Amino acid sequence: MLDPPSSGRRRVLAARRCAARRSALAARRSSSLASLLAIALACGCGRIDFEGQGAFAPTGYAAWSTLAVTLPPQRSSAEPLVDFPLLVVLDDARARRDLMSPDGADLRFFDASGQLLAHELEQVGAPGAAPLLAWVRLPRVDGTSLALIAAYGGAVQAPRAALSPWSKEFAAVWHFDETALASARDATGTGHTGAARGTRLTAGLIGQGRAFTAAAKDAVVVADAPELTFETFTISAWTRYDKSPGQLYFTSMSRQFNAFGENELFLSNFAGKANAEIATTAGSFVTSGGALPLSRWVHLAAVYDGVALTLYVDGRPSASLPASGRPARTANPLFLGADRNNGSGNTPPGVPDADFLDGALDEVRVERTARSAAWQEASYLAMQDQAISYGPVQLALP
């Protein structure tokens, strides 16, 4: 249906006002990509215009793509994101995959000043098929926007950054990107690989995930380690529920505290609602949030900062209650997709026996710090590939 004339005139006037603001700001700023990002955000004109940008141009590469990262505008610049892992998705429309090495080994990421950034490849993909998935470590994000360069191809590349894309604040990260079902690799490199009891491969939100069947008592068991001890923490998981738990629990992550079913850490779906629990030296604290959907991915996170236990659903606070004390320290393993209540008293130590998940997990994380609401929202958007505008591919001059 065509817009009525009055609507059309309004759209034309709005476009002219946007163009005027863009021109006025451009006259006062340089032509760098960072400036263009600020212009676009100021006029609210939608996607970024990359034409004429003067950002860093890498040498020794066959091609490169410009990435404009835009984080939630309500984020305070006084609260920077430090060592933020950004998901980058490169398909055939966003990169010249035919010019990139088949294993992605020639791919490098730079910021707008030319600083080399640490990254990890979760999925290499292939031209005309699955996209390349990379995690890029952003040392510091002070505002709501910044520019990156993804460069690849050519005979000479800069050495890869020595740093891991996962800072020391990440105690463990499980992508479930392995092809063998026996284990779940810890991407941080600190060795917290989980041992799978059952489970099967499935399509995840980000690349590959891991499916769990409650009737088969599927679980992933992660042995205790000193690095899994913390004063404050954030635990999170993308979870898909294939059926309703009824009046029971579907567990994303747990660690038993005592023989009575209390948990040092617990993130779950209880009776169709988000649920989190911690046990500390001051007691046990449980909070429940909003209703959870079936058959689609939902992001759950529990944050304990020594003052409160806050539950997040899809990047937004869902529930919070005052909590205090030091988290209870046990030598029990972490369970993904299950819990241990030891209700019968006959279950061997370290073996899950309750609250098994009917669904799937992806991108499960344990962090040794209490992440802010700003971090939660930015992370949720980034993991859904909603934080980056991809500019045109540029080819090196012959």
Is a pLDDT exceeding 80 seen at residue 27? no
Residue spans of the domains in the chain: they are: 5-167+383-395, 170-368
The pLDDT tens digits of the residues spanning 77-128 come to 457 899 999 999 999 999 999 999 999 999 999 999 999 999 999 999 999 9
Given a cut of 70, is residue 39 above it in pLDDT? no
Which pLDDT belongs to residue 36?
A: 33
Decide which of 18 and 218 is more confident: 218
Residues 6+ apart with CB under 8 A from 206: 87, 122, 133, 175, 238, 362, 363, 383
**Residue where the block lists tokens 């215009």:** 49
Query: Please, are residues 229 and 338 in contact by the beta-carbon 8 Å criterion?
Result: no
pLDDT-based confidence at residue 131 (cuts at 50, 70, 90): very high
Region 6-31: what's the mean pLDDT? 40
Q: What pLDDT shows up at residue 156?
A: 66
Report the pLDDT value the prediction gives residue 335, as an integer from 0 to 100.
97
Is the pLDDT at 13 greater than 50? The verdict is no
Does the structure show a pLDDT above 70 at 283? yes
Domain 170-368, CATH class in plain words = mainly beta
**Average pLDDT for residues 19-34, to the nearest whole number?**
37
Compute the distance between CA of residue 172 and CA of residue 192 in angstroms, rounded to an integer.
6
Contact present, 238 and 314 (Cβ < 8 Å)? no
The pair of structure tokens assigned to 54 is 């003067």
Predicted pLDDT at 19: 43
Residue 160: its pLDDT value, please?
A: 79
φ and ψ of 297, to 5 deg: -75, 135
Residue 18 pLDDT more than 80? no
What value does the mean pLDDT take over residues 207-222? 97
User: Could you tell me which residues come within 8 angstroms of residue 238 by beta carbon, excluding any fewer than 6 positions away?
Assistant: 204, 205, 206, 209, 297, 298, 299, 361, 362, 363, 364, 383
Q: What is the pLDDT of residues 240-255, one digit of tens each?
A: 999 999 989 999 999 9
**Lookup result for tokens 């029990």:** 332
Residue 375 pLDDT > 60, yes or no? yes
| 359-367 and 170-174 strand pairing | antiparallel
Question: Helices marked H in the chain — which ranges?
Answer: 5-28, 33-43, 373-383
